[in-house]
Structure 1
């Protein structure tokens, strides 16, 4: 998701002020590169006969290539009882094929001077490697082989699921804040599968079988549900020939139908108090807001989504932004510090519903209720008084400069293109996004602050320090704990 880079240099800010890019042609033809990044050439996209999408962005600045295989399946595509299976399968994709033994995939990538990893999100699973340009065919052959012929024995799965359970312990169950946010998601969303954690509930991990992962693989890992993204020192014709050679022979299969799971309209405020052994309290205010769909023809909800992006940046887009000044520095309260930290975030885009989140860690002597009221007051101030034009231009310029800086990396180019594909967006989405964000007005920012922050759509999560919970903490397994893998 786009974010404001607080450390953008003056050079990038100056570049961002030059102007916006022209809209691209349909994906069958090259998409003009954004003038924000002169070294980034055109993008091309094509589809193999079996349904696999291939997206290529040549970038000749260094003899390196990033290859990403995106599968449009994540935790939102799971069903109750097998939560975490998308992430578990991601781990198992490194465990072999008929020709490659467990662990050998990454060793081969390293041997040719590359690095590889993967990640699972609510919306997608992606496998990425960065390799010398001359080794692209070897990398593509490896990726196509595991996509089409992934296999492993039951014992390998049983060993790896213990690693995944340890990952959940270390990253979630041993972090009171992570547990609070996990519980908050389960309260915010009722019908949406976003209510479930990506790593899965521990009880589901304990009950998961090898065949659960195999069935998920057979169902969703089909060419028509995947995109191969190549960015770096490549020729489009070369990539096309290699993709046809190594991915083109994979049999086609239909993508399973996805049933709509629309989130019902929230009809009043919800509140969660999560009591745990913690050093400090934490307050999170989650508001349901519309996502940006990136349609070529702008809509009212898309305009609101972009204004919400700017609003989040006004609140927390740079050092000394509104939340920091009001809650941390105490500007306007006679220097009284209300929070040790405060922040704002907005998802902008995704396959499911999105949230606008305000967070604060109350300072010593400040109650969660006081911190919550202070967060709301900053949004209310914008709803009442609006934002200054200079403030608006500052955050938009910094946002665009951050996007330029990000795209200096071929890895980020591949990740951005894959993310747009996952969300069903066109290749020129990045250019259109920057152009439309530049057009957001102060009146639009004030309008969304007025319309989207009522208690009707609010779910409040409060982490409450409770030393008495120490005895109720989950038991840590005896003996050596499994080492976490990179992915």
Structure 2
């Protein structure tokens, strides 16, 4: 065992479960806004984040991309702050800022010296209620997002494959809609769509302020009261828990052609998140199952498919239980040169079958548990990650306390439970498979892009 891993595991013992260095202090403003603070005095820096409980899942067909376009427009000014001045003010104060839109949330953040925190809170409170949505800026920013879609999705074969997979796996659910929006929807988006979205979701009652770093909770609460406390709370949060997608009725396969240099295979199984699981240990067993396949160089995909058999140039697996609705368990792989993509696809399916049919060895499971524990400690070394985790967990409805016993629940999973979730959820009728083929020359046989159910 490496010195780094020993040190990390020692830290797990010394810290409270989950690897957190301090408790989270909470306060609720009269207008409904929640404020959460995690002190961390190792360095004189702070991360401030404002989270809105609304994202791509809350959009409806024909108006996808509105959450992401509004995120861009949040930097285009208020009566007090001109277009682009938000970032300039943060930079003048020695910090940086950005934002991101997910399926379950939209968040804005600033990283600064701790004595500059008030600057960030003043700016965030201003644009929460005073944003100027102007037609000229909207037209420009929509073009920016459309170009972003071309670069990140349409000209990126793997991203295109993942977008296609989600659209097919969730053909009757918000998770099937791309966060960045379908191009046709972006082309028809109107400023009024953003105004409606902003008025409905951007209010203190639907927001959370998270601050982590070299601060004291009472100091942050006072600043929050000063800058956010006087804002109108808004209506009750309009973003409600989405209904789970209809249960899958059979496997689905897509053969997709794109201008890719090499073939690529990605598949996903419909699996529960924590609220939708039949037993509360199931998501943690699924997380460990993903780790057995792809957690370090000793994981099965890297050791068996890449190094031992030479079938894959790369292979991976992923599952994240933290979401507002049930999601997907992913496997993917790029075949090694001169390897038939079908051989890699079958090898990935064989790895899934072995997990359904045989219990994982205790030593292998213990190794993965240790690696997950170490990863938790390394991640919590970052003040930004601490704020990120608190904001995400609070916004999706899990609560920040979820992380306190996360490692305890991971450690409690047995080999038999891993085999049970593999048999229950990783079965063909829950699977969507996308095969990405390099573009065929003109005149080649038709059939690419066909979906089979």
TM range (shorter): over 0.9
- Can you list the C-alpha shifts for 1:214-238, whole angstroms capped at 9, x where unaligned? 1111111121111000111111111
Alignment of 1:84 with 2:65, yes or no, is yes
CA distance in 2, matches of 1:212, 1:70: 20
- Can you list the C-alpha shifts for 1:173-200, whole angstroms capped at 9, x where unaligned? 1111111211111100122101010000
- Can you list the C-alpha shifts for 1:450-471, whole angstroms capped at 9, x where unaligned? 2222111111110011232699
Matched-pair contact (CA < 8 Å) for 1:8–1:398: no
Other structure's SS at 2:71 match:
helix
* Alignment-derived partner of residue 481 in structure 1: none
Q: 1:324 aligns with which of 290, 293, 302?
A: 302
Instruction: Give how far 1:20 is off.
Output: 7.9
Matched-pair contact (CA < 8 Å) for 2:9–2:373: no
Other structure's SS at 2:405 match:
helix
Alignment of 1:365 with 2:310, yes or no, is no
TM-score, normalised relative to structure 1: 0.87
Q: 1:10 aligns with which of 5, 25, 34?
A: 5
Alignment of 1:217 with 2:190, yes or no, is no
* Alignment-derived partner of residue 43 in structure 1: 24
* Alignment-derived partner of residue 108 in structure 1: 89
Instruction: Give how far 1:320 is off.
Output: 3.1
TM-score, normalised relative to structure 2: 0.93
Pairs within 5 Å for 1:59-70: 59-70=40-51
CA distance in 1, matches of 2:349, 2:11: 32
Other structure's SS at 1:68 match:
strand
* Alignment-derived partner of residue 452 in structure 1: 425
* Alignment-derived partner of residue 159 in structure 1: 140
CA distance in 2, matches of 1:367, 1:68: 47
- Can you list the C-alpha shifts for 1:279-320, whole angstroms capped at 9, x where unaligned? 1111112101111249xxxx7433111001001101110113
Q: Which deviates the most, 79-88 or 356-365?
A: 356-365
- Can you list the C-alpha shifts for 1:222-257, whole angstroms capped at 9, x where unaligned? 211110001111111111111111001110122226
Q: 2:282 aligns with which of 304, 307, 331?
A: 304
Change beyond 3 A, Cα 1:78–1:470: farther
Matched-pair contact (CA < 8 Å) for 1:114–1:131: yes
Q: Which deviates the most, 299-308 or 461-470?
A: 461-470
Matched-pair contact (CA < 8 Å) for 1:20–1:431: no
Q: 1:52 aligns with which of 33, 44, 61?
A: 33
CA distance in 1, matches of 2:383, 2:442: 47
Q: 1:284 aligns with which of 260, 266, 278?
A: 266
Instruction: Give how far 1:66 is off.
Output: 0.6
Matched-pair contact (CA < 8 Å) for 1:75–1:86: yes
Gaps of 5+ in 1: 1-6, 23-33, 331-335, 472-487
Matched-pair contact (CA < 8 Å) for 1:274–1:463: yes
Matched-pair contact (CA < 8 Å) for 1:65–1:232: yes
* Alignment-derived partner of residue 447 in structure 2: none
Instruction: Give how far 1:379 is off.
Output: 2.1
Alignment of 1:342 with 2:326, yes or no, is no
Aligned CA RMSD, in angstroms, stands at 2.0
CA distance in 1, matches of 2:15, 2:118: 36
Matched-pair contact (CA < 8 Å) for 1:220–1:256: yes
CA distance in 2, matches of 1:48, 1:357: 40
Instruction: Give how far 1:71 is off.
Output: 0.4
* Alignment-derived partner of residue 275 in structure 1: 257
